[in-house]
Structure 1
Amino acid sequence: MELDARQIMEILPHRYPLLLVDKILHMELGKRIVGVKNVSVNEPYFQGHFPGFPLMPGVYILEAMAQVGGILMIKSLDLQVGKYAVVFAGIDEARFKKPVFPGDQLLLELEVISLKKTLSKMKGVAKVNGQVVAEAVLYAAARELSEITRKDS
């Protein structure tokens, strides 16, 4: 199963400048997903990270992984889009092996370790040109938007 940018935006609530998935290349529900993030010199974080030496921040690599994993979780559990949000619940074993620069294409591969009704654990690997640039174990929780929406008193 492949998804283009329009289909991704129907699933994820993220928008510019925080939507970090351009395409889903492959998805096996409940098992595995592969997504792509094209890293452009126009990304807003490159203005300050770092002037004269643009380098993609590791937290954005992890966020891109998490978004790809969130798509897999939403689709695998058949969560109602617009009713549920998938949020970070934890990160373990994060490692950054090589820098990511403008012009690189991140291939984001996530494999399910466990998937329950409201919680997932996935092993994520980010690659550029076949070389691992980052990896982590990501935990995500599905929450009803009504549970996480701030209530004004």
Structure 2
Amino acid sequence: MVALNTTEVMDIIPNRYPILYIDYVDEIVPDESLIATKNVTINEPYFQGHFPHNPVMPGVFIIETMAQAASILILSSPQFKNKTAYMTGVDKAKFKRMIKPGDVMKVHVQFDKMRERMGTVKVATYVDDQLATSAELMFVVSDVEQTK
């Protein structure tokens, strides 16, 4: 079990501000599972318009946060080191609870299927130990190395 800070996360995935949504990784078991944290704050740019008097994290940004957490797990595998993972599909997405400023979103990722450079992961987000979102994400890993 390993933990990663923000700088270590940025060493693995290419995302940067303003579209880096993972604050840190609580634990990772390479080739198996990951738990990451996103601290949701009112300072997020999308809260200016979604919705001004009732701020709610947009579903598309929740899915993006899930995809970033999945990318960290995928790209932590030795065979994918320094590569880029791309989301190719979303299945069975369910939004059970609104995510609002002040929430601490825990993202749980579990490898499901893997074949060469593509596969699926099961992802769920929790706030206060309550299921907020779940989905299956499909991905492909580029065979081109990232340049830093």
TM-score normalised by the shorter chain: which range applies?
A: over 0.9
Match of 2:8 in 1: 7
Match of 2:77 in 1: 76
Show CA shifts across 1:59-101 (max 9, x none).
11111111111011111243232xx211111100000001000
Show CA shifts across 1:13-32 (max 9, x none).
11111101011111111111
| Partner Cα distance (1:120, 1:76) in 2 | 13
Match of 1:151 in 2: none
AA of the residue aligned to 1:113 = D
Q: Give TM-score scaled by structure 1 length.
A: 0.90
| Partner Cα distance (2:143, 2:3) in 1 | 26
AA of the residue aligned to 2:8 = Q
Instruction: Verify the 8 A CA contact 1:95 1:135 in the aligned structure 2.
Output: yes
Match of 1:35 in 2: 36
| Partner Cα distance (1:46, 1:95) in 2 | 21
Instruction: Verify the 8 A CA contact 1:39 1:103 in the aligned structure 2.
Output: yes
AA of the residue aligned to 1:29 = P
- Do residues 114 (structure 1) and 113 (structure 2) align? yes
Greater mean alpha carbon deviation, residues 71-80 or residues 16-25 = 71-80
| Partner Cα distance (2:80, 2:141) in 1 | 8
How high is the sequence identity, in percent, across the aligned residues? 33
| Partner Cα distance (2:92, 2:13) in 1 | 25
C-alpha RMSD of matched pairs (Å) = 1.2
Shift of residue 124 of structure 1? 0.5
Match of 2:129 in 1: 130
| Partner Cα distance (1:66, 1:23) in 2 | 14
AA of the residue aligned to 1:144 = D
Match of 1:139 in 2: 138
Aligned residues: 144
AA of the residue aligned to 1:42 = N
| Partner Cα distance (1:38, 1:2) in 2 | 16
Shift of residue 3 of structure 1? 0.3
Q: Mind listing any 5+ residue stretches in structure 1 that lack a counterpart?
A: 147-153
Q: Mind listing any 5+ residue stretches in structure 2 that lack a counterpart?
A: none
| Partner Cα distance (1:47, 1:4) in 2 | 28
Q: Give TM-score scaled by structure 2 length.
A: 0.93
**Dislocated runs of 4+, deviation >6 Å:** none
